[in-house]
Amino acid sequence: MRKIVGWIVGAIIVVMAIIISKNMIDSKQMPTGFAKKIVKSVYAAPVKNQTISIEIPVTGSLTALRKVELFAEVQGIFKTNGKLFKEGESYKSGETLIRMDGSEFYASIRSRRSDLFNLLTGAMPDLRLDYPSEFPKWEKYLAAFDVEKSTPDLPEFSSDQEKFYISGKGIVQTYYSIKNLEERHSKYIISAPFNGILTEALVNPGSLIRSGQKLGEFIDPSVYEMEVAVNKSYLELLEIGKEISISDLEDSNSWVGKLSRINGKIDQATQTVKIYIQVSGKELREGMYLKANLKAASQENAIEISRKLLLEDQIYIVKDTILSLMPIKTHFFSDKTAVVSGVPDGTVILTQPILGAYDGMIVHIIDEKN
């Protein structure tokens, strides 16, 4: 009986397993189709090669082409002049900037002139006897001598004997001593070397000015120079005398300058070279920060694209809705763009980068205008 019961239970279990399996197979849904391929939409456009002007963007500040730092070479009291010695005051060439009280020093010059006059007077009798032919010119010189005026040049010597005699009397030594004092006395007046304005004034009338003290700064506001640093690799593209477009940082004003100088030294740390752009304009001021575009050269049969589209020395093109890499030659990099060649006219290239792009990727081109 036990064997019969075991067979019956086994048969029941097998039958139930078959029924359950059949129900599970019937309830399973078969796939209705294959997964769709993802096609990315991209922005692309055909290219047209042309001549591209390579421009190097640079920035720098303005410095007056003619600028003088004023220093005192003598000591004295700053006397009040016709104009205030203040920043922004304009002066014409030769006009007095600073006048110092040199009355005490001038008194010593008059004393030395008087010594020279006495030496000449004492030498006249011997000149009349020993050098009668030379006496008239020295008599004329003595008659025109004035201790209140600048010492006139000594008459020219006609012979070595005359020169030795005059020198032996101490006249030549005294004369050059006076000329040295007169030259130093001229330092008590500082005149404008050219038409310009004061940009810095460090002393006031009535103050004591000491030798070597800085007094201020004087510039010519008609012409400025813009100093900028460019990569040494661009040197062969630059040419002195070329016109350069300059503007302020807001692009509200623009000027035309020219490349005036190129430094012959390369900065070892940055591997750059300083160049100088000369520019003029009423709106320009010392210290203004400007930007310029250096037209370095022109590249024929080239296109300008975004640097983001570059993949080392290749770019993506679209051929029959499939992305493909094309090798190119790069000629110039700016902050945002690159000038490249080697792409035939009509070739469709990406105009905007896409994420996850790869060679052979299927894409759909979007009309960028729409």
- Decide if 188 contacts 74 (C-beta within 8 A): yes
- The whole-angstrom separation of Cα 62 and Cα 225 is 6
State the first-to-last Cα distance of the chain, in angstroms, to the nearest integer.
88
Q: Positive or negative, the Cα torsion across 112, 114, 115, 117?
A: positive
Mean pLDDT by 10 residues, the chain (370 residues): 70 75 64 61 90 84 94 92 88 93 91 94 89 90 91 91 90 94 93 94 92 95 92 79 88 90 89 92 91 80 91 89 90 83 91 88 77
Is 70 in a helix, a strand, or coil? strand
- 143 exposure class (CB count in 10 Å sphere: 0-12, 13-18, 19+): exposed
- The whole-angstrom separation of Cα 160 and Cα 174 is 19
- The whole-angstrom separation of Cα 78 and Cα 139 is 41
CATH architecture, domain 56-64+221-298: Beta Barrel (2.40)
Written as six digits, the tokens of 35 are 């997964």
Written as six digits, the tokens of 8 are 């019956």
- Decide if 273 contacts 290 (C-beta within 8 A): no
Residue 215 confidence (pLDDT)? 95
> How far does CA 106 lie from the centroid of its chain?
46
Residues of the chain within CATH 2.40.420.20 domain(s) are 42-53+300-366
Written as six digits, the tokens of 356 are 């996850």
| CA atoms within 13 Å, Cβ hemisphere of 300 | 0
The CATH class, in words, for 67-95+192-219 is mainly beta
Residues of the chain within CATH 2.40.50.100 domain(s) are 67-95+192-219
Single-letter amino acid code for the residue at 266: I
Tell me how far CA of residue 87 lies from CA of 204, 281, 284, 337, in angstroms. Answer: 12, 20, 17, 44
Residue 110 confidence (pLDDT)? 93
Residues of the chain within CATH 2.40.30.170 domain(s) are 56-64+221-298
- The whole-angstrom separation of Cα 290 and Cα 348 is 38
- Decide if 228 contacts 277 (C-beta within 8 A): yes
Cα dihedral 122, 124, 129, 135 in deg (nearest 10): 160
- Decide if 52 contacts 303 (C-beta within 8 A): yes
Single-letter amino acid code for the residue at 208: L
Which CATH number applies to 42-53+300-366? 2.40.420.20
The DSSP bridge partners found for residue 315 are 326
Written as six digits, the tokens of 173 are 């030594």
- Decide if 46 contacts 343 (C-beta within 8 A): no
Residue 336 confidence (pLDDT)? 84
Rounded (5°) CA angle 312-317-320 = 155
Residues 269-296: tens digit of each pLDDT: 888 899 999 999 988 999 999 998 887 6
Residue 12 confidence (pLDDT)? 77
Tell me the residue length of the chain. 370
Single-letter amino acid code for the residue at 324: S
- The whole-angstrom separation of Cα 195 and Cα 221 is 9
- The whole-angstrom separation of Cα 51 and Cα 357 is 30
pTM here is: 0.66
The backbone torsions φ and ψ at residue 149, rounded to the nearest 5 degrees and listed phi first, read -115, 165
The DSSP bridge partners found for residue 254 are 247
β 40-46/363-366 pair status? parallel
Tell me how far CA of residue 163 lies from CA of 84, 295, 321, in angstroms. Answer: 50, 66, 103
- Decide if 156 contacts 138 (C-beta within 8 A): no
- Decide if 44 contacts 322 (C-beta within 8 A): no
